[in-house]
Amino acid sequence: MTTINPATTLDVEGEIAVLTLDNPPVNALSHILREGVAAGLEAAAADPAVKAIVLICAGRTFIAGADIKEFGKPIAAPTLQDLQDRIEALDKPVIAALHGTALGGGLELALACHYRIASPSAKVGLPEIKLGIIPGAGGTQRLPRLVGLPRALDMILTGTPVGAASAVTLGIVDELAAGDLRAEALRFANAIVTEGRPLRRIRDEAQRLDGENVDAALEGARERHGRKMRGYESFERAMDAVANAARLPFDEGLAREREIFVELLGGTQSKAQRYVFGATRAVAKIADIPADTPTRKIGRVGIIGAGTMGGGIAMKFLSAGIPVTIIEQAQEALDRGTGTIAKNYAASVRRGRIRAEDAEKANALLTPSLEFDDLADCDLIIEAAFEEMAVKKEIFARLDAIARDGAILASNTSYLDIDEIASVTKRPADVLGMHFFSPANIMKLLEVVRGRETAKDVIATAMKIGRDIGKTAVLVGVCHGFVGNRMLSARQREANKLILEGAMPWDVDRVLTDFGLPMGPFQMADLAGLDLGWNRETSKGETIRERLCEADRRGQKTSAGFYDYDENRKGSPSAMVEEIILIKSREEGFERRAIGDDEILERLVYPMINEGAKILDEGIAQRASDIDVVWINGYGWPVYRGGPMFTADTIGPDVILDKMREFEARFGEDFAPAPMLERIAREGGSFTGAA
């Protein structure tokens, strides 16, 4: 065995040279690896005894792509394209042996090889679009030559990898390895040599694209993926690049791809998306709780409350194979809750999202009960009852009496003080918040709320179990509304003022959806129901919302709220709502004025950023990027804008500060700048250090 460099070794077995790459954790194509591949290829090419070369990786995966950490820096030779050129110029076959995830530049390198063999569990894909770029090493040109335009568009526009078996069917991979990958790759390489198989160069295989209807393929892809990718610059650019595979000779298509790649890589969207990639991984790291902190075993979960929230939370655990005891106070509510869970699973089976036997397995793990005492054997108990402190306190006092020693007691409260809830127990170290977002079986975000006395292993366990059930868990501190809802309140306050001053709900919502959010505050309110916490008997009709409820406009469920809804739940502006707003405006003494889109956006977003600065200053969030992860995963902040704090950095903290001061002079203390915003603006710094 020859060591080529710390990341590369070369072995010759009979007539086959095996080049093994080892660059943990994911074999990213860093400079050291590129150098190793170049030198290894050269040595194998020069050795007359070698008839074929196998390219294989050590560790958990084949090359997972270019090294994201090298982006934005000058790329030192040899480049990935240099390596591909060398492989394609060789007169000995090169076989890529794939396992784990062969992604991005990793798959592109494999596509420049003459043959590919893969472990059955391997996945291959071009996920560049998720980083706001397109494949930059021939992926948009070689993949369509193998699989045709529609399929290549699907893979490149969604970034979703395909499994090895599909990759064989599609022609991306030549063979599945029946056993040990290295041994199988050697066998395959020997067969290629013995049979004298040709040196396949995908770049020369244009026949698949002959006669493809390019426009129809693009139109189809736009229909399938366009809505989800609204606002992403990389989408149309990726379509262009792939279309070039059919429209231009290989080298011209490759050159265009490169131009587009470089342009996108230098843009704000890609910067934001790459920042989010890092931010999403950073949330797991907690300053005073090392990664190796022991966690508690969670064998059974208890859930108090079988409403929409409790049921959704239960489904996440059941789907992960964790038994759940769910309790309610009345049989009817319990039946309704378990019925909804069963119905949701049935719908997922119908839509092909899960297999029938998995749904059955999940349903079988659910134990419904009316007995509080049945929670006694649970390791984690999540309270998802009515959002009122007295109710929570009563429940936690009862839990304290029956829960087993070491059980974790969590509240799903969205606003309330965890320390106050914990204070009614004799075990505040075992108490914390686990704030799920509705619908809990779908939304990715989980805010893990750390109380004053919460034990470190309790936090570590909650963060881990969150990840185990597929959530993005973010650690936050105690305050009214934690990170997400506290910032949302700042936005809501301004939205309510804007409609009194002169805007209409649909103006406000449109500005935010144009910005890239899935919906605005009034659409969101209609969806959640305007009567949350409203009571007809005690309603004083003081707010617009109360007046809408009194008019039985209680949101989407009554087909009327801030909007009128048709049978497809499509909302349209309502003359009645306009009237109600105009009356209320007059009563409050507002002289209505035209409010421009810029002002609407600044009035909604800047106070959120200001609140984010306070949250950071108070240590409620560990880092600015955690706030961004909350907003992306809990509220649909567009990834291509990187979250509110990254957005703040792209606008410029000084610009935001000036505007806040102007608004403060015009509209009062709601706009008083946070000390941290002032400090960062003064120092010319940034919140995230990444924009």
Interface with ligand 3H9, residue 305, by CB under 6 A? no
Select 66 or 549, whichever has its Cβ closest to ligand 3H9.
66
DSSP per residue, 41-54: HHHHHH-TT--EEE
Select 82 or 180, whichever has its Cβ closest to ligand 3H9.
82
Select 28 or 375, whichever has its Cβ closest to ligand 3H9.
28
Q: Which two tokens stand for residue 64?
A: 């997972």
255: left (phi over 0), alpha (psi -120 to 50) or beta: alpha
Largest CA distance in the chain: 93
Select 272 or 676, whichever has its Cβ closest to ligand 3H9.
272
Binding ligand 3H9 (rule: CB under 6 A), the pick from 68, 248, 349, 519 is 68
Strand partners, 475: 448
Query: How many other C-beta atoms lie within 10 A of the C-beta of residue 479?
Result: 18
Q: What angle do helix axes 80-89 and 31-46 make, rounded to 10 degrees?
A: 10
Cβ–Cβ under 8 Å, residues 658 and 678: no
Alpha-carbon dihedral sign for residues 511, 514, 516, 517: positive
Site string for ligand 3H9, 451-470 (x = CB under 6 A): --------------------
Binding ligand 3H9 (rule: CB under 6 A), the pick from 35, 67, 184, 531 is 67
The residue from 13, 15, 35, 108 that is catalytic is 108
Site string for ligand 3H9, 7-46 (x = CB under 6 A): ------------------xx-x------------------
Please say if 501 is a catalytic residue. no
Q: How far is the CB of 202 from ligand 3H9 (least distance, A)?
A: 15
What 3-state DSSP class applies to 589? coil
Interface with ligand 3H9, residue 642, by CB under 6 A? no
Using the contact rule CB under 6 A, the part of the chain among 61-69, 288-296, 308-316, 465-473 near ligand 3H9 is 61-69
Q: How far is the CB of 645 from ligand 3H9 (least distance, A)?
A: 19
Using the contact rule CB under 6 A, the part of the chain among 129-137, 302-310, 423-431, 495-503 near ligand 3H9 is 129-137
In the range 103-122, which residues lie near ligand 3H9 by CB under 6 A?
103-105, 108
Burial 103-138 (b: 16+ CB within 10 A, else e): bbbbbbbbbbbbbbbbbeebbbbbbbbbbbbbbbbb
Kindly report the length of the chain. 691
**How many residues in the shown chain lie near ligand 3H9 by CB under 6 A?**
24
Query: Which of 361, 670, 349 shows the shortest CA–CA distance to 496?
Result: 670
Query: Which of 601, 643, 641 shows the shortest CA–CA distance to 626?
Result: 643
Using the contact rule CB under 6 A, the part of the chain among 57-65, 360-368, 469-477, 631-639 near ligand 3H9 is 57-65
Site string for ligand 3H9, 248-287 (x = CB under 6 A): ---------------------------------x------
Say how far residue 329 (Cα) sits from the centre of its chain.
36
The residue from 42, 88, 128, 332 that is catalytic is 128
Interface with ligand 3H9, residue 74, by CB under 6 A? no
Using the contact rule CB under 6 A, the part of the chain among 66-74, 415-423, 480-488, 543-551 near ligand 3H9 is 66-74
Distance from C-alpha of 417 to C-alpha of 415, rounded to nearest angstrom? 7
Interface with ligand 3H9, residue 127, by CB under 6 A? yes
Distance from C-alpha of 38 to C-alpha of 40, rounded to nearest angstrom? 6
Q: Which two tokens stand for residue 98?
A: 């794939």
Binding ligand 3H9 (rule: CB under 6 A), the pick from 136, 433, 520, 561 is 136
Rg (CA), the chain: 29
Please say if 578 is a catalytic residue. no
End-to-end CA separation in angstroms for the chain: 45
Distance from C-alpha of 119 to C-alpha of 184, rounded to nearest angstrom? 9
Q: Which helix (H) or strand (E) holds 586?
A: helix 575-587
Using the contact rule CB under 6 A, the part of the chain among 11-19, 98-106, 435-443, 655-663 near ligand 3H9 is 98-106
Strand partners, 571: 565
Interface with ligand 3H9, residue 135, by CB under 6 A? yes
Interface with ligand 3H9, residue 131, by CB under 6 A? yes
Select 106 or 644, whichever has its Cβ closest to ligand 3H9.
106
Binding ligand 3H9 (rule: CB under 6 A), the pick from 51, 83, 128, 270 is 128
Which amino acid belongs to residue 188? F
Interface with ligand 3H9, residue 531, by CB under 6 A? no
Select 228 or 480, whichever has its Cβ closest to ligand 3H9.
228
Cβ–Cβ under 8 Å, residues 629 and 472: yes
How many degrees, rounded to 5, is the angle at CA 300 between CA 297 and CA 302? 120
Binding ligand 3H9 (rule: CB under 6 A), the pick from 40, 139, 607, 642 is 139
Select 37 or 431, whichever has its Cβ closest to ligand 3H9.
37
What 3-state DSSP class applies to 540? coil
Q: Which residues are catalytic?
A: 108, 128
Binding site for ligand 3H9 (CB under 6 A): 25-26, 28, 61, 64-69, 80, 101, 103-105, 108, 127-128, 131, 135-137, 139, 281
